[in-house]
Amino acid sequence: MKVIAINGSPHNDGNTAAALKLMAEELNNQDIEVEIIQVGDQAIHGCIGCGYCRGSENNHCVFDDDLVNETVAKMREVNGLILGAPTYYGGIPGAMKSFLDRTFFSSSKYFKYKVGTAFAVVRRTGGLDVHHQLYNYFNLAQTITPPSQYWTVAYGHDKGEVLQDGEGVQTIRKNARAMAWLMKVIDASKGKIPLPEEEKRIMTNFVR
């Protein structure tokens, strides 16, 4: 089994990276491969809502000059996804937000019933907002999320400082172990337990 982990920080060796490495170690201990992809320092187009990906081959985004289409292709094929981001003005950093908007707009159907988890890193406050924003993508894609003992938010500012947050580190480690367990449960159920019955989606607009 394999997991793609997305680093939404502009720093490839900062606190978000340290937290991702902690999760990767836990998953590796469960014989799960983890590939960490650096997104936060890239120049990434924002989604323009053009709808090109709805009818294009392999649902590719119209912008093909950054890492989105290449990374999305990998994300569709693996068993699990991790999203990690620092807190910028109480929200997801811009490059990560652009990446996630285009990724999930073009590919949510591919992430349905996969396992996905996310965490935020923060200096002092706003981390829960980022945590909730990250999980919005999984919720709308019907991705299954594993639990932990608390919200997956870790505190730190200077490089490596997040590792001093004992509770945050423990919460992230437990989340990674729950992720490994959930992925194995889903894999073991294949061919034995059918997926939930589908029905045509009803769309209700509030202004008619």
Superfamily of structural domain 2-189: Flavodoxin domain (3.40.50.360)
DSSP string for the chain: -EEEEEE-SS-TTSHHHHHHHHHHHHHHHTT-EEEEEE-TTS--PPP----HHHHSGGG--S--SSSHHHHHHHHHHSSEEEEEEE-BTTB--HHHHHHHHHHHHHHGGGSTT-EEEEEEEESSS-HHHHHHHHHHHHHHHT-B----SS-SEEE--STTGGGG-HHHHHHHHHHHHHHHHHHHHHHHHTTTSPPPPP-PPP---S--
* Res 208: pLDDT: 73
* Res 103: pLDDT: 98
The answer to whether residues 5 and 39 touch, using CB atoms and an 8 Å cutoff, is: no
Whole-prediction pTM = 0.97
Average pLDDT per consecutive 10 residues, the chain (208 residues; last block may be shorter): 98 97 98 98 97 96 97 98 98 98 98 98 97 98 98 97 98 98 97 95 88
Domain locations in the chain as residue ranges: 2-189
